[in-house]
Structure 1
Amino acid sequence: MVVTESLQGSQGGGGRRPSLSARLLGFARNLQSATTFGQLLDVVQRELWEALGYEHAWMFVSDREPVQTLRLLAATGANTQDVWEHAPVLTVAGDAMLEEMLSTDHPQVIEDARTDARTQKPGGRALDSRTIVNVPLRLLDKPFGALGTGTFGEEGPRVPGPEQLDHLIGMAGQISVAASRILYVDGLARAAREKQELERRLMQAQRLESVGMLAGGIAHDFNNLLTVVLSSASLAKMKMEPDVMPEVESVLAAAERGRGLTRQLLAMSHTQRLSLAPIDLNSRLTQLLELLKRVLPESIALDFVRAERLPLVEGDESQLDQVFMNLCVNARDAMPEGGRLRLETEAVVINGRYARIHPWAKAGRFVLVTVCDSGVGMAPEVVERVFEPFFSTKKERAGTGLGLAVAYGIVRQHGGMIQCASTLGAGTTFKVYLPTLERPVSWVKAEAKKAVPMGGERVLVAEDDAAVRDVAVRILESGGYRVVATESGEAACAAAAIEPFDMVLLDVVMPGLTCAETIERLRTLRPELRFLLASGYTAETNVVALLRDDVHAFLRKPYDPEGLLRAVRRVLDGPAHARLPPS
């Protein structure tokens, strides 16, 4: 037989006290001042002690309906630390005590947890609970948590009487109202914080997009200049005496460096043409890491964790190589004293709910590549600017500040996402999400190099930049072609109306008629015409749609004589209306 002490008439403290029903009014007033669950539970504990003689109190709530788990929101009393350690989250399924409590509106009383069958579980034994009193908390007739009190260990069992149970029910009603108020206010504050974060990220994305558009526009003009320099120098080289050849080679080398810079600018603006192919990132990264080992010091350990049966992605191998090489080199520079560099691949699915909560994400199936280092890390204000062009934490002249901006642009152009997380002194992690391959790939591999082909066909050139137009004519004539040059789409159509041509070299961005309109009119005049588009910047026109339709090939600016002559020959020798890989 268990001997228990009843709380009937034994309230904490002596002297004349107000009735329990009168105490509820004061309790309700005290709850109004509580703005956090910690403050709320302090008010509850004081009332439990003064009215009922219980020292301990705890509160559990659920985040969803139906209730599957109960999360400890607050606890107070001598055993607070033990409660947090052994019962931070309670699973309802399979717990007889919790299942019973949530099925009723009345307080649940466990007289002695040491002997009650409903509490024979590891957590209860670790806490050495004795009497347990749980009062369901309800909101709009739906359970959302519980208020608990009771005794532990040597306090022994102490069971509340009927009047005390009625008082607990009254307290539970007031607590439910106060708790719902705090949850509502917390929700508003959380929504405001999330809105602020969304606005911050949106502004950051818009800033990056604006800089990218500027970079693309600069690259467009710069590519026209480089086309003239590269082509003119190459043509001059064919006629130069050996003693002046080094000067021409210097010009060509500088122009090639300029071409590399414009490619970075285009990558940053995610407007460059991609040569798409199926890629196994496990295999590709394995090859890349073999190259990376040559530039990593021995003080940096390299780990690569490969996911099994990783889906393919569709991408441009050289561009994605640049992304991961940039990330790894940055990681190396962040570990001057050595450390660990870890790469990991895995297949992930982002659902719509996650994408709605995280503005940077979009729903779909992705291959995730994580690049993690144990380096010096970055402060939050640095992480926020890490993808901005020309922003760098490296010493002066240690880098261009374009590496991560270029990586951002390349990943975005592949339809993917890139995220950065870092803590000062604890390293940096980059996560690159690339969409899995969902359709057959249409691009084909480039042919092996042969001798520069010559020809004799008639070529119509439409280019608004006079210097580029002049050099294109000189290159084509040096290859044996008969050329007519025009400065606009209208002029090209007028020329085609007078005489026939075998092919049109057409600049993508010109004043007047758009590229698509020019092609349509020329097709009407000369259905047999073949087309070669040339541009250093494709964002202003839907070149991809044109390539899917009639245009036979695309030539990136800046081009040199060999590149132009090869592209022209491929168009003329290819089957009619056949789309060819970009040059």
Structure 2
Amino acid sequence: MGQVDHTARLPVSLSRIGLLACLVLILCRGTANGAGSGKTEPASGTGGLPTMLVDSEGETAAEEPPKAPTPPPACAQQALGIVIGIALLLLVVVGLQAKGLRRKLAAANRHLREHEARFSQVIANAHAPMVMIGPKGEVLRVNPCYLETFGYTKEETPGIEQWIERALPDDEARRNAAARWKESISPSLGVGQEVDLQIWKVVCKDGAQRDVNLRYVALGNGGLLTLTDVTEHRRAREERHQLQAQIAVSKRMEELGQMTGAVAHDLNNVLSGVVNFPELLLMTPDLSDELRSGLETIEESGRKAAVMVGDLLVITKGGGAAREVMALNAMTEEVLRSPDWDSVKRQHPDLKQNTELAPDLLNVVVARGQVRSVLLNLFAAGAEAAALRKASAPEITIRTANRYVDQPIKGRETIPIGEYAVLSVTDSGPELSADDLARLFDALYAKKTLGRGTRGLGLKLVWMVVKDHYGYVNATSAPTGTTVDLFFPTTRETAEPEQARLALADCRGNGEKVLVVDDEGTQREVACTMLAKLGYRAQAVSSGEAAVDYVSAQSVDLLLLDMVMPGLNGRETYEKVLTVRPGQRAVLASGFGESEEVRKTQSLGAGGFLKKPYSLLDLGSAIKTELQKAIPANG
């Protein structure tokens, strides 16, 4: 029902008053004209004669006739006419103003209706949920976005109290929300005043939970409530904070890795004396049993320390090592023939070792040194686990097989569809509980609680290296023992044939001259002693610059070149040496693992790489192999 516009009658009433005023003015003017003519009529009943009066003495006297009323002056009549005219003029002016006011008011009403229509259209098309709230908290209108986001209709939540009851997840949240609403929203709010109700956790009609920021704008009789869904924004912010934290941790880990790598490099130089001098002394004939036993203990301890340092380098260097096509079976057999595995077997003399290697096993692309450490750690962990069962002799079985996974395997991790070369190690140790199995690759837990993987970084290294090679690890346990499976992605490429390993007797030299280039004095002394033991003439310098000067003055048959030195590093030294002695033979060595600098130097013509501390056999084999190569024609 529309409002009554009383101003519409105002001009009509004023017009009527103006007409009435005109009539009164005309009458007044007529009366005034009659009085001013100067003519008088005789008094009624006397015929105009004077009236005779008798006094108390009997005398008679003539009575004066009554006087006619004095007409108003002409100026008074004119003033009255002016006043009435002015009043009439004012009434006409007021009538005209009221008519203009009526037109303006109609235009204002029309504009208000247009604005209301635009406002309703904006709310309806808004991309944020909006609710019109009445003065008593009743829900007057909800927009489509609100319905789409939360699912509640106006009928389902007729008021803010009902909305709080339905949309908030628990009693405590409802109490807090109701108190916040009552405290913040009041009729005293001025038009346009905003209230930020902060973020509420809202339950939608379908049960989904959303983080919603509520803002209320007072509009006089009620207000507009905007509910902005900030769920994704908060999730993105949390993910950004987590990513920033991960980046910070990654930077700290990178710094720690660099520091650990530097320490490991220095430790390898120190360990050269601990490992190599006992090895040389053990070659002395007629050693007493007591002395021989002590030297063997020193050598074995040094090798264990070297293994742990090597594991640290594997982890800190990660995927930086060069990768090549390798035969997993050949790597397995190499590890089982190594002195390191012999050391493990000496600790478990009753260990029974079974191998079942698939003859048609596909090749893999791996970093040779890293995967060799993985195999050695895994085999050693299996031996340690098998030894925990005291009722029977310890036993491990090492298997390899090709396996095509046609359905994802659910285990410790999901192994996707693909073709893999699988290496498995099964021990005869006690069965592991589900909790122990889940923590099997936690280095500290495996060592301290399970007694497995106590060598080096153990099973933690296995896990990290396999993952770095895009492989997968699975572990199962039964009353008969535990099996660890390593899944390596395969390749159809052909592996380079393995070079036959020389015996120590075949590694002896014939007096060839070898220049040792190393900034560490201990390492120079160890290398020269080993070379002399192998039958070579050894000289040593302490820097790359000194090496360039030396070969400029006299020739040498081979350089034993350290890769990490102050000043000129190994690659830079070899580049300068080649300008003086083209085709110069060289064997590279470093306390770090094989790096990009090593590969670049080898691409220039250098030979094999030795990781410190190296054994007498490793040194002799590398030098003999390099000396047997033909010198280039331009050398």
The TM-score normalised by the length of structure 1 is 0.52
Matched, 1:227 2:272: yes
Aligned to 1:256: 300
Counterpart CA distance in 2 for 1:183 and 1:280 is 55
Tell me the residue number matched to 1:437. 491
Deviation at 1:543, TM superposition (A): 1.6
Q: Contact 1:233/1:248 (CA < 8 Å) preserved in 2?
A: no
Q: Distance in 2 between matches of 1:516 and 1:506?
A: 9
The superposition leaves residues 200-257 of structure 1 with CA deviations (integer Å, 9 ceiling, x where unpaired) of 888887787776655544442333233234443444455x562546415532442233
Alignment pair present for 1:269 and 2:313: yes
Inter-CA distance 237–203: structure 2 relative to 1 (3 Å threshold): same
Q: Aligned equivalents of 1:225 and 1:563: distance in 2?
A: 18
User: 1:33-432 maps to which residues of 2 (within 5 A)?
Assistant: 33-34=166-167, 178-179=205-206, 182=209, 188=232, 216-237=261-282, 240=284, 242-244=286-288, 246-248=290-292, 250-270=294-314, 277-279=326-328, 311-315=362-366, 316=368, 318-325=372-379, 328=382, 346-347=403-404, 367=421, 375-377=431-433, 386-388=441-443, 392-394=447-449, 399=454, 402-411=457-466, 415-417=469-471, 432=486
Q: Bigger radius of gyration, 1 or 2?
A: 2
Q: 1:529 aligns with which of 576, 580, 584?
A: 584
Q: With a CA cutoff of 8 Å and minimum separation of 6, indicate the structure with the bigger relative contact order.
A: 1
Output one character per residue of 1:498-539: Cα deviation in whole Å (capped at 9) or x when no partner: 112221110121111111111111111110210101123236
| Partner Cα separation in structure 1 for residue 307 and residue 300 of structure 2 | 11
> Contact 1:348–1:365 (CA<8 Å) still a contact in 2?
yes
Counterpart of 2:301, as a letter, is R
After superposition, give the CA deviation of every residue in 1:443-496 in whole Å (9 maximum; x if it has no partner): 633334262422223322201111221232233344443333110111101111
Q: Hey, what's the Cα distance between the residues in 2 that align with 1:361 and 1:544? A: 33
What letter corresponds to residue 408 of structure 1 in structure 2?
Answer: W
| Cα distance, 1:214–1:420 mapped onto 2, change above 3 Å | farther
The Cα of 1:411 is off from its aligned counterpart by: 2.7
Map of 2:520 onto structure 1 = 465
The answer to whether 1:512 aligns with 2:556 is no
Partners of 2:358 and 2:155 in 1: CA distance: 61
**TM-score, with length taken from structure 2:** 0.48
Q: 1:493 to 1:207 in 2, by over 3 A?
A: same
User: Residues 269 and 446 from structure 1, CA distance in 2 versus in 1: closer, same or farther, beyond 3 angstroms?
Assistant: same
* Equivalent residues of 2:571, 2:600 under 8 A apart: no
Work out the percentage of aligned pairs sharing the same amino acid.
23
Instruction: Supply the distance in 2 between the matched residues of 1:527 and 1:237 (Cα, whole angstroms).
Output: 39
AA aligned to 1:441 is A
The equivalent of 2:602 in structure 1 is 547
Q: Deviations over 1:332-389 (max 9, x none)?
A: 6899999xx99997445999xxxxxxx9999997556688999444659x96794446
- Are the structure 2 counterparts of residues 554 and 570 from structure 1 closer, same or farther at C-alpha, using a change threshold of 3 Å? same
Return the letter of the residue paired with 2:495.
V
Q: Is the 8 A contact 2:441 2:463 kept in 1?
A: no
User: Among 156, 161, 165, which residue is 1:27 paired with?
Assistant: 156
Unaligned runs of 5+ in 2: 1-151, 170-202, 212-228, 338-344
Q: CA deviation at 1:324?
A: 3.9
SS in 2 for 1:394: helix
The one-letter code of the counterpart of 1:461 is V
Q: Is 1:479–1:565's contact at 8 Å kept on the other side of the alignment?
A: yes
- Aligned letter for 1:260? K
Secondary structure, aligned partner of 1:491? helix
Contact in 2 for aligned 1:420/1:428 (Cα 8 Å): no
Counterpart CA distance in 2 for 1:561 and 1:572 is 16
> For residue 311 of structure 2, what is the amino acid of its counterpart?
A
Shift, 1:24, TM fit: 4.5
User: SS of the counterpart of 2:327?
Assistant: strand
Contact 2:558 2:627 (8 Å CA) reproduced: yes
The alpha carbon displacement at 1:420 in A equals 7.3
- Could you tell me which amino acid in structure 2 is paired with residue 322 of structure 1? L
CA contact (8 A) 1:226 1:255 kept: no
| Partners of 1:307 and 1:199 in 2: CA distance | 47
Give the counterpart letter for 1:325 in structure 2: F
Question: Using a 3 Å threshold, how does the CA distance of structure 1 residues 448 and 525 change in structure 2: closer, same or farther?
Answer: closer
Q: Distance in 1 between matches of 2:499 and 2:626?
A: 16
2:322·2:595 contact (CA, 8 Å) conserved in 1?
no
Residue identity matched to 1:525: V
Distance 2:364 2:299 in 1: 33
Give the whole-Å Cα distance in 2 for the aligned partners of 1:495 and 1:443. 37
CA distance in 2, matches of 1:392, 1:246: 32
What is the DSSP-based 3-state SS (H/G/I as helix, E as strand, rest coil) of the residue aligned with 1:575? coil
Q: Distance in 1 between matches of 2:252 and 2:375?
A: 26
Which amino acid is 2:294 matched to?
S
Separation in structure 1 between the aligned mates of residue 294 and residue 610 of structure 2, nearest angstrom: 25
Q: Is the 8 A contact 2:548 2:576 kept in 1?
A: yes
User: In angstroms, what is the RMSD of aligned CA positions?
Assistant: 5.8
Q: Does 1:497 align with 2:542?
A: no
Matching residue of 2:53 = none
- In structure 2, the residue matched to 1:559 is 614
**Secondary structure, aligned partner of 1:242:** coil
Alpha-carbon distance in structure 2 between the residues aligned to 1:488 and 1:371: 46
Q: Secondary structure at the match of 1:313?
A: strand
Counterpart-to-counterpart distance in 1, 2:550 and 2:595: 25
Give 1 or 2: higher helix fraction: 2
C-alpha contact 1:314 1:441 (8 A) present in aligned 2 = no
Number of equivalences: 397
- CA distance in structure 1 between the partners assigned to 2:285 and 2:374 by the alignment: 42
Query: Does the alignment pair 1:447 with 2:501?
Result: yes
Contact 2:272 2:614 survives alignment (8 Å): yes
Contact 2:264–2:312, Cα closer than 8 Å, also in 1:
no
Letter in 2 for 1:481: Y
